[in-house]
Amino acid sequence: MGALSELQARPAPAAGEDLVPVLPALRTLIPALRPGMVVCVEGPASLGLALLAGAAQDGGWCAAVGIPELGVLAARGMGADPARLLLVDEPGPRWADVVAALTEAVRLILVCLPERPSPTLARRLVATARKNGCVLAVRGDWEGAQLRLRADTAGWDGLGDGHGHLSGRRVRVVTAGRGAAGQGRAAWMWLPGPDGRVTSAEEPPRRLEVVA
């Protein structure tokens, strides 16, 4: 019953518009991504991979531009299918042309900006992306991004002093941005959890510190 009311409470995506899905754990923050949207991702690299994995649900293609160190296994653990991933590791100064070409083919492009794009170039890329139903997730500075995602980490679990192995990390993801999308909402989640997936988490218990 609780699950049902939760389903009803979730805003339904507008009909006719091809929204880009996000992972279930992120839906409390962002219901879905609109085509032509620019999402600035700050903080851990896993956050960008989580967006990639979200857009790759139900058969979508994704691309990563300028990120040669992308952890493909981590993206797969979050639910992205490597067979539907395109990687352009070294776009060089022609990165904007590469991104423009990819908007036609994929739902979400994760791009590491080598420089801050000029306003004209930024507008042109956003228009191309909107026309082709694609979302840009950028690492770096983008003036006028609709949504900014930031993650504060509470450290990794599972490691002791010479034993154990890294099992998961709890982060607090905070949104900020213009319009309805960004109202400074925050949520705790496992990024990644013990099985590599992203799931929502409870707030970690405060550790008591001995002060006297």
Partner 1 sequence: MSRVLVVWCPDWPLTAVGIEAAVPGAVLERQRIAACTAAARAAGVRRGQRQRDAQRHCPELVLTDRDPDAEGRLFETVAAAVAALTPRVEVLRPGVCAIPARGPARFYGGEEALRMLVQDAVVEAGHDCGVGVADGLFTAELAARAHSTCGVIVPVAGSAEFLAPFPLAVLDRPELADLLLRLGIRSLGEFAALPAPDVLARFGAEGVLAHRLSHGREPRPVAPRAAPHDLSAQQVFDEPAARSDQVVFAAKALADRLHDGLAQEGLTCVRLAVEVEFQDGTISERLWRHDGLLSSLAVAERVRWQLSGRQPAPGAQSAVWGGVSALVLTPDQVVPDTGSQQALWGPGSRGDRGALPEQVARAADRIQAILGHRSVTRPVIVGGRGPGEQVLRVPVGDLPLTERGDGPWPGRLPEPAPAVVPALPVPAAVLDGSGDPVMVSARCAVTAAPAYLDLPRGPRLAVTSWTGPWPCTERWWDPGQARRRARFQLTTPDGAYLVAIEAGRWSVEAVYD
Using alpha carbons, select from 122, 129, 136, 145 the residue that is nearest to residue 51: 136
Query: Closest separation between CB of residue 28 and partner 1, Å?
Result: 22
The whole-angstrom separation of Cα 26 and Cα 7 is 14
Query: Closest separation between CB of residue 9 and partner 1, Å?
Result: 30
Query: Closest separation between CB of residue 5 and partner 1, Å?
Result: 32
The whole-angstrom separation of Cα 37 and Cα 143 is 12
Nearer to partner 1 (CB atom), residue 24 or residue 133:
133
Residue 177 backbone class (left: φ over 0; alpha: ψ -120 to 50; beta: rest): left
Structure tokens at 59: 């058969």
| 111: CB partners within 8 A, 6+ apart | 64, 65, 66, 67, 95, 99, 136, 137, 138, 139
- In the complex, the residues that contact partner 1 under the rule CB under 8 A are 44-46, 49, 61, 68-74, 76-77, 82-83, 85-94, 96-98, 101-102, 104-106, 155-156, 159-169, 192-196
**Bridge partners of 134?**
none
| DSSP assigned state of 16 | T
Query: Closest separation between CB of residue 2 and partner 1, Å?
Result: 29
8 Å CB contact between 168 and 190 = yes
Nearer to partner 1 (CB atom), residue 173 or residue 181:
173
8 Å CB contact between 59 and 156 = no
8 Å CB contact between 78 and 50 = yes
Query: Closest separation between CB of residue 168 and partner 1, Å?
Result: 7
Nearer to partner 1 (CB atom), residue 181 or residue 191:
191
Nearer to partner 1 (CB atom), residue 142 or residue 182:
142
8 Å CB contact between 109 and 88 = no
Nearer to partner 1 (CB atom), residue 88 or residue 113:
88
Query: Closest separation between CB of residue 13 and partner 1, Å?
Result: 23
Nearer to partner 1 (CB atom), residue 22 or residue 85:
85
